[in-house]
Amino acid sequence: MLHPRLKALFAAGISTLMALAPSSLAQEQAIDLGLQLAGNPPMQIIKRDPPPLPEPTDDFEIRDGFTLVDTLDAFQAAIKDSDQKIRLKPGHYRATKIDPPVTFTKIRTAAKDKNPTTTQEQVFAATGSNNHFDLRGVVITIPSSLKGKLTRKTHMADNWRVTGRGNTFEGAYFRTDVDLEYPNFFSGGNMFEVVNDDNRFIDCTFLVKGSSPYGYSDYYGKGRGAFTRLDKHSFMSLEDANNTTLIGCKIYNQAFGHAIHFHNVDGALIEDCLFTGALRKTRDIYREKVGVAHEHGYNIMFRGKRPIPRNEVIPLTEDAIRSYNDVRNIVVKNTVVERQRGCVALFGTGDITLDNVTVREGGDCSFDVTAKDGGKVIVKNCFADVSYNPVFRMRTHTPEDSFYEVTILSPADGVKFTPRSNLGEIAGIRTTFILHDGTTKPLPRSANVLTCGGRKELTRSTVTNYTPATLILEKNVTHCTIRSIGPVKDKGKNNTVIRMRRGTTAETDTDAKKQP
């Protein structure tokens, strides 16, 4: 029987996204020479395959007021102009030329930046503003051989660069074609770099591929001092760009890099989207005969040499939704995130809201969402399974006056728990945590544990646990009210612990309304 809150989720019209949630472990059956060396056996990757390309058609809609263009050259010229409605004829288009470099001065943070004006390189430069690009039925492919003609300076080259404001990109299938064998390509930077306000992406699909090294998470470095040539590739960077909107988009991240990452952003909306990455069982690395892992004796080199564990599952991407610098007023709604490092990793200087976000098979953790400087976190009606890695992590800030409500789900069929499988760690000041039970079968005792406090304090807060999970209150848990169906081990001070009857839910909990 579905948990009442899952029933409510379907009733709210999100059944399509929930149907996308993984039900089995899809694995690579053949060598993809854009992802791995030919001298190794096929890499066993846990991922979701992107949708097939739409068939080109001459039967398509041209809305009133839109101008039809039927070549990629014409479209590449149109994105330089403003105040247009452009309909690109449905079809498969492959980029063959590169736009000139674009010089741009940051809108707001220039005074704080030693180098506020930069000259970037890109394949497509969208410098126009207030355009609506109707790209339904359109596939635009950028081959890695073309991208490789751009500069290889760090953070200086992207597939698309949007310097205009108020543009809408609707319905396109944007993709990378790794047409050179791994690792003999360059894909560094982002598929999209957005540096101006009020841009929208509606019902678009993005296939992000091409990074090196691939298949090892960050075992061989991810910045200066990397132990091999490093070529990261992300989906979208928002820098100094407010009020970006993604609605109904699907992002298939098959490169080591973030999906979407924010830098100095005030305002963004992600709604009805899917972010899906890739995982790999660590024991599969030991099957390799050539490459960086073999060269280093199957040792992790980043942050200290040590053997690769044999019984863990690692992400082949970075975080799915990630923030840097001054980031506030980010809203993520009705969205599924799966199989990426930190699935939602937002550290705000202002408010962060997650509403009806479902996380599956986090590659390092499901929710790492905190705020400082008076920012508040609201995580409501959200869901996460206990699979390979922890559900909660709070590594950056200690949230204050915030709210977290998460329903714990059972993993997909075929998921085998690892030593890192558990509910994770929570912290906060005057913060409320509510855990609902959406599992369909019991979790193993070792995985059904939530640590309260620990690296960061939990004080003057409330934890209501409607699951059978064991709560461990560390020494820095003080002056908290804990209501729990599962057992509680209290190592803290001045806490009130109330055990609830098994079977109590939010709907039947008569004492819940009495809690602060």
Residues 173-197 have pLDDT tens digits of 999 999 999 999 998 899 999 999 9
Encode pLDDT of 426-449 as tens digits.
Answer: 999 999 999 999 999 999 999 999
The C-alpha atoms of residue 355 and residue 366 are separated, in whole angstroms, by 14
pTM above 0.85, yes or no: yes
| Closest to 253 measured CA to CA, from 355, 321, 334 | 321
Residue 43 lies in a domain: no
The C-alpha atoms of residue 396 and residue 428 are separated, in whole angstroms, by 12
The confidence band for 106, taking pLDDT boundaries of 50, 70 and 90, is confident
The confidence band for 115, taking pLDDT boundaries of 50, 70 and 90, is confident
Residue 308 lies in a domain: yes
Residue 67 lies in a domain: yes
| Closest to 36 measured CA to CA, from 234, 215, 188 | 215
Q: Are residues 268 and 413 in the same domain?
A: no
Q: Are residues 391 and 341 in the same domain?
A: yes
Q: Are residues 276 and 140 in the same domain?
A: yes
User: Tell me, what's the pLDDT at 2?
Assistant: 37
Residue 443 lies in a domain: yes
Q: Are residues 64 and 8 in the same domain?
A: no
User: Tell me, what's the pLDDT at 411?
Assistant: 97
User: Tell me, what's the pLDDT at 513?
Assistant: 67
User: Tell me, what's the pLDDT at 19?
Assistant: 39
**Burial level of 302, CB count in 10 A (0-12/13-18/19+)?**
middle
The C-alpha atoms of residue 198 and residue 166 are separated, in whole angstroms, by 5
The confidence band for 225, taking pLDDT boundaries of 50, 70 and 90, is confident
Answer whether 354's CB lies under 8 Å from 379's CB. Answer: yes
Q: In the chain, what percentage of residues exceed pLDDT 70?
A: 93
Give the pLDDT mean for 55-61: 95
Q: In the chain, what percentage of residues exceed pLDDT 90?
A: 87
Residue 46 lies in a domain: no
Q: How many CB atoms lie within 10 A of CB 224?
A: 7
Q: Are residues 198 and 269 in the same domain?
A: yes
Residue 176 lies in a domain: yes
Q: Are residues 303 and 336 in the same domain?
A: no
Q: Which domain holds residue 203?
A: 56-283+294-318
Place of tokens 């409605």: 85
User: Tell me, what's the pLDDT at 424?
Assistant: 98
pLDDT at 142 over 50: yes
User: Tell me, what's the pLDDT at 515?
Assistant: 57
Residue 106 lies in a domain: yes
Encode pLDDT of 17-46 as tens digits.
Answer: 333 444 334 444 589 999 999 999 999 999
User: In sequence order, which ranges of 231-368 are alpha helices (DSSP H)?
Assistant: 292-295
| C-alpha to C-alpha distances, 39 to 28, 179, 218, 283, nearest whole angstrom | 16, 18, 22, 18
pLDDT at 472 over 70: yes
Give the pLDDT mean for 285-311: 97
Coil vs helix vs strand at 341? coil
pLDDT at 155 over 80: yes
pLDDT at 107 over 60: yes
Q: Are residues 310 and 399 in the same domain?
A: no
| Closest to 278 measured CA to CA, from 255, 260, 259, 258 | 255
The C-alpha atoms of residue 326 and residue 135 are separated, in whole angstroms, by 33
Q: Are residues 247 and 336 in the same domain?
A: no
The confidence band for 112, taking pLDDT boundaries of 50, 70 and 90, is confident
Encode pLDDT of 317-340 as tens digits.
Answer: 999 999 999 999 999 999 999 999
The C-alpha atoms of residue 90 and residue 165 are separated, in whole angstroms, by 25
pLDDT at 364 over 60: yes
**Which residue did the predictor score with more confidence, 15 or 414?**
414
pLDDT at 405 over 80: yes
Residue 190 sits at φ, ψ, to 5 deg, of -120, 155
Count structural domains, the chain: 2
Q: Which two tokens stand for residue 190?
A: 């982002």
Q: Are residues 336 and 397 in the same domain?
A: yes
For the chain, helix (H) and strand (E) counts, in that order, are 5, 40
Q: Are residues 338 and 360 in the same domain?
A: yes
User: Tell me, what's the pLDDT at 336?
Assistant: 98
User: Tell me, what's the pLDDT at 224?
Assistant: 77
Residue 131 lies in a domain: yes
Give the pLDDT mean for 379-385: 98
Q: Are residues 244 and 366 in the same domain?
A: no
Q: Are residues 241 and 362 in the same domain?
A: no
